[in-house]
Amino acid sequence: MVQTQHGCVNSVGFKMNYSDEFYVEKQNLVKFLKGNEVLPSGYVAHEQHKGIIERFIGLCRQVVPLVVPVPRKLTEVKVPYLDIQPKDTNEMRKMIDKLNIKTQSFTCNHRKIDEMYYRFEADIGKIYVSEDYKVVEEFFERVAGVIRSVKVDDERLSIKEEEARKAICMANKRKYDDDDDSDDEPLDVYPVTCYGSDISIKTVLEINRRITAINNELIKVAATFESLRCHKCEGIVKEFEVTSKIIERRRREIREEEELAEMMRQEEDEKKGDDKYDIERFLAKHFTTRERILLKDIVTKYEEVTSIHKTLVEMKEAVCKYGWKVTCVSKVYYAVRV
User: What pLDDT does residue 10 have?
Assistant: 36
pLDDT value, residue 180 = 46
Block means of pLDDT (10 residues each) for the chain, length 338 residues?
Answer: 34 46 69 69 72 79 77 76 90 91 85 77 81 85 81 78 74 55 44 62 85 85 73 88 93 91 80 60 78 84 79 83 82 82
Are 162 and 210 part of one and the same domain? yes
In a domain, 127, yes or no: yes
Domain count, the chain: 2
**27 C-beta neighbours (distance < 10 Å), count:** 14
* Predicted local distance difference test score (pLDDT) of residue 36: 64
The C-alpha atoms of residue 292 and residue 282 are separated, in whole angstroms, by 16
Asked whether residue 207 falls in the same domain as residue 314, the answer is no
Could you write out the DSSP letters of every residue in 77-106? --PPPPPPPTT--HHHHHHHHHHHHHHHT-
Record the pTM.
0.47
Any domain includes 282: yes
CATH number, position 291: 1.10.10
The verdict on 322 and 266 lying in the same domain is yes
Helix H or strand E segment including 149? helix 131-174
Domain contains 191: yes
Instruction: Report the pLDDT value the prediction gives residue 249, as an integer from 0 to 100.
Output: 93
Q: Is residue 94 part of a domain?
A: no
Quick check: is 302 in a domain?
yes
Which pLDDT score, from 0 to 100, does residue 18 have?
47
From 26, 92, 30, 110, select the one nearest 66 (Cα to Cα): 30
State the pLDDT at residue 174.
65
Write phi, then psi, for 330 (nearest 5 degrees).
Answer: 55, 45
The pLDDT assigned to 1 comes to 33
Residue 269 is predicted with a pLDDT of 66
Query: Could you report how far apart the first and last alpha carbons of the chain are, in Å?
Result: 123
- Whether 60 and 140 have beta carbons less than 8 Å apart is answered as yes
**145 and 51 belong to one structural domain:** yes
Q: Which domain holds residue 223?
A: 23-71+111-228
Residue 96 belongs to a domain: no
- Cα 213 to Cα 62, 131, 221: the distances in Å are 16, 11, 13
